[in-house]
Amino acid sequence: MDGFAEQKVPEGKLVGVRLRYGKTIEKVLITGDFFAYPENAVYRIETALEGMPSNSKAGAIAERIAEVVKVEGAELIGVTPEAIADTILKAMTE
């Protein structure tokens, strides 16, 4: 199945998620008007989410995102791992 969601997050930025999923998250594209440094951090997050069970809870998805941010020494500006996780779940339910 394919899913898409966009939402303004509490940090004030827009986050969009387009994904393909079945029993697992197969492909994820995260967009928005937030910033990530280094620029490839979003790509690293997207690939780290692939293969996660599609019935994962928001906390588990946010943990995976936060882990990538930490390991990569990355910085998310205007968005949190929790906000991205919420948008991912929204994309799988609409």
pLDDT in tens, 45-66: 999 999 999 999 999 999 999 9
Structural domain of residue 81, as residue ranges? 2-93
- CATH number at 37 reads 3.30.390.50
Confidence (pLDDT) at 10: 82
pLDDT recorded at residue 29: 98
For residue 82, count other CB atoms closer than 10 A to its CB. Answer: 17
Helices (H), the chain: 41-49, 58-72, 81-93
- Number of structural domains found in the chain: 1
Q: Model's pTM, two decimal places? A: 0.94
The pairs formed by 75-78 with CB atoms below 8 angstroms and a separation of 24 or more are 75/36, 75/37, 75/41, 76/34, 76/35, 76/36, 76/41, 77/34, 77/35, 77/36, 77/37, 78/9, 78/11, 78/12, 78/13, 78/33, 78/34, 78/35
